[in-house]
Chain A
């Protein structure tokens, strides 16, 4: 019984990080209507950058690492939008061409990581070493810290989208691009910020999960697929849905890993997705019509 509860808690903690991961993907899709296939590659870049800043070369603390990493990822996302996406936007067939270009970019980044860092796994130390033991439960400090950080980032994102000028502008662009233009919002600028913010979320998730899942050149594909499953399961465009789906799938992953084996996670996620889509075709809380 103890163990079952322990696994449940561990799943909930994982779910918070997955929520972060999924919000980054759905943010870009919601605002720009582009499915960013390079999302997983950015996750990997986040992991590698953190490795370089900490144990790899510079031996910085995690606090300093985050201070450098967050703006760096934001600039990376903005640059990606500016250099790769914007030249194609509004040209005929741009929804397909931008998707293809991000797919190509994902392979480019992955292989650049392979050349630069080699094929072997990089290991990041836990954010906080040690473990907590109370009432007979054992939980690593790292899991507690990433859970809390993920919650803080998700709440911060929600607050940003609801209360700030640029956050409101992002929601406006997602809901009616022409309407946004008509009130004076520079839509291109908002696209850039959405890509920047999304890269921050992907990269942060990469760092938070790196001590558990390790970092290797193609490590981003599974998180990308997972983010995609979460967004679809929750219902495209629904914040609540994404949160609920992330926790459900985090818990499923936790039990699967314990009872069957980690490699069964994705098959079980996809089965869950299929079953739920049979009964709720637009996801748990989906009301998306476009």
Chain B
């Protein structure tokens, strides 16, 4: 579904991603893991059109995404959920959700998706009229994910959903993402905390210094790292 070939990304003159190649198949749940500052988020942002690509190619369902802006990529069914959430602070929860379904194809499925969102997060249903800036960190993260769901995307790129959340909330968040994946949405996840990923992630890419140094199931990577340490 998503193919990334020999991707190079620079921040000004600083070379961040070196010839990264990866792919995600339909219905898969894939995680990008690795330590902070090794390019996980950068890779995701480059795929989603938030930062420019120097060379290489990103294709989604057989079509090139390079050079398209974020909103055009959303139109094609690939939505990005930011780690810093990017909610509309002075709008209500409900207005944020409505805007999630801004595009025509999402508007057609709005009531259906709204039901799903409220089933996943009853808190958001209760707080529909509350202004987004007054939400707690956990609720804001829920709303960010929910707003992404409202766009009726086939593919969700979720950047560090556990960022800044308490451990019990992280578990809840990951469970929800697993559920979304079961609903037939392909998931690409950036995550630092791999402890709770085994249950639903099919494959991981391990990024080191802007290169993918491992691709495969999470368990095998954990195994290799334990051996390295021994």
Interface residues of A (CB under 8 A from B): 165, 168-169, 171-172, 175-176, 178-187
Contacts and interface: CB of A to CB of B under 8 A. Distances in A.
Given A168-B95, A178-B50, A183 B100 contact: yes
Contacts, number: 63
B91 A181 contact: no
B66 interface: no
A189 to B, nearest CB: 9
B116 interface: no
Sorting the interface of chain B by its residue count into under 10, 10 to 19, 20 to 34 or 35 or more gives 20 to 34
Given A171-B88, A172-B91, A176-B86, A184 B80 contact: no
B124 to A, nearest CB: 16
Interface in B11-50: 50
B19 to A, nearest CB: 27
Given A181-B69, A184-B71, A184-B106, A169 B88 contact: no
List the 9 closest pairs (A to B, CB-CB), nearest first. Answer: A179-B86, A184-B74, A181-B70, A184-B103, A175-B88, A184-B71, A183-B102, A184-B102, A183-B99
B147 A183 contact: yes
With most chain B CB atoms within 10 A of its CB, the pick from A171, A183, A186 is A183
A191 to B, nearest CB: 13
Contacts of A180: 88, 99
A9 B87 CA distance: 43
A182 B69 contact: no
Contacts of A176: 86-89
Contacts of B103: 183-184
B128 to A, nearest CB: 15
Interface in B70-87: 70-71, 74-75, 79-80, 82, 85-87
B90 interface: yes
Given A165-B102, A168-B99, A184-B106, A179 B87 contact: yes
Contacts of A165: 102
Contacts of A172: 88, 91, 99
30 contacts: A165-B102, A168-B98, A168-B99, A169-B102, A171-B90, A172-B88, A172-B99, A175-B91, A176-B87, A176-B88, A176-B89, A178-B82, A178-B86, A179-B85, A179-B86, A180-B88, A182-B74, A182-B79, A183-B71, A183-B99, A183-B100, A183-B103, A183-B147, A184-B102, A184-B103, A184-B151, A185-B71, A185-B99, A185-B102, A186-B71
A22 B87 CA distance: 27
Given A179-B85, A182-B86, 13 more contacts: A169-B102, A172-B88, A176-B87, A178-B50, A178-B82, A179-B86, A179-B87, A182-B80, A183-B71, A183-B102, A183-B103, A184-B106, A184-B151
Contacts of A187: 71
A212 B96 CA distance: 43
A167 to B, nearest CB: 11
Contacts of B91: 168, 171-172, 175
B90 A182 contact: no
Contacts of B80: 182
A179 B89 CA distance: 10
Contacts of B75: 184
A185 B75 CA distance: 9
A171 to B, nearest CB: 7
A169 B75 CA distance: 16
Nearest to A177: B86
A183 B151 CA distance: 7
A176 B132 CA distance: 12
